Amino acid sequence: MSHKSSEFRRRFVLNDLAATGALGARIAAGLRRGTAVALEGELGTGKTALARAVLRAQGLKEEAPSPSFSLVQSYDLPGLTVAHFDLYRIDHDAELAELGIEDALDQGAILIEWPKRASGLLPEDTLFVHLASGIHGLRYVELNGPQRWASYF
């Protein structure tokens, strides 16, 4: 995917769920109204686990269901509304329009899995988080986005 912003780039190795939680907390600290975080990677690389870590760090107390079937879950969290989108099953642009990605950005921040399906709707300053599986359960993460994210990492 061609990233719109490439001023900031970092790479991490996530050894366990605690490391995923720590990364989620750093991402959560940078969320604000109009922020998009694009979660990329193959099935099973930890996109939903990272999204849940971000939501917990943002103040979610209950369990966050995967939006795989509902396509979007929205959370009114302390100080910010965060919508979690999963576009894996989206095939047509008309389906995207019905999901309300632009409205969700106007109201708060979004976490979006399978962002290639909505690339035209993502803001210029989207933070791209690419996850990949490694040996022994390791996850490799590459962050790419606007320079403002550098202070969180």
Task: Convert the pLDDT of each residue in 37-64 to its tens digit.
Answer: 999 999 989 999 999 999 999 999 888 8
In a domain, 141, yes or no: yes
In a domain, 137, yes or no: yes
pLDDT at res. 6 = 55
Strands 139-145 and 8-14: antiparallel
Which residue range forms the structural domain that includes residue 128? 8-152
| Number of domains present in the structure of the chain | 1
CATH classification of the domain holding 33: 3.40.50.300
Q: SS in 3 state form for the chain?
A: CCCCCCCEEEEEEECCHHHHHHHHHHHHHCCCCCCEEEEECCCCCCHHHHHHHHHHHCCCCCCCCCCCCCCEEEEEECCEEEEEEECCCCCCHHHHHHHCHHHHHHHEEEEEECHHHHHHHCCCCCEEEEEEECHHHCEEEEEEECHHHHHHC
Strand partners, 128: 38, 144
In a domain, 2, yes or no: no
In a domain, 1, yes or no: no
Which stretches of the chain drop beneath a pLDDT of 70?
1-6
- The crossing angle, in degrees rounded to 10, of helices 17-29 and 47-57 is 60
In a domain, 112, yes or no: yes
